[in-house]
Amino acid sequence: MSSIDYRPDIDTLIIKVGFEAPQTYVPISDDIEVGLDSNGRIVEFRVSAASRKGLKNVIEIVRRRRRRLV
């Protein structure tokens, strides 16, 4: 199960990638938090300030990490 939800009232993009509810959130940057389940697996991403600036930051982080993997 995965879903993408934008909440304009709090300007946050929520991307769920797992079935369980997040037990803890780990900040990755000022705009991004990763939700972990009880086993430490990623089940959710939260992008604050999901307007243009926040989404550009997410794209930049993913681009940098992708380069390291290739």
Side chain identity, residue 4: I
Instruction: Name the pLDDT band for 24 (thresholds 50, 70, 90).
Output: very high
pTM of the model: 0.68
Question: Is residue 16's pLDDT more than 70?
Answer: yes
Question: Is residue 64's pLDDT more than 50?
Answer: yes
Among residues 40, 58, 41, the alpha carbon closest in space to that of 49 is found at 58
> How far, in whole angstroms, is CA 20 from its chain's centroid?
15
Which residues constitute the domain of residue 11? Answer: 3-69
- Whole-angstrom Cα distance, residue 43 to residue 12? 16
Question: Is residue 22's pLDDT more than 90?
Answer: yes
The whole-number pLDDT of residue 36 equals 92
pLDDT tens sequence across 27-63: 988 888 989 999 988 888 898 876 766 677 776 776 6
Domain count, the chain: 1
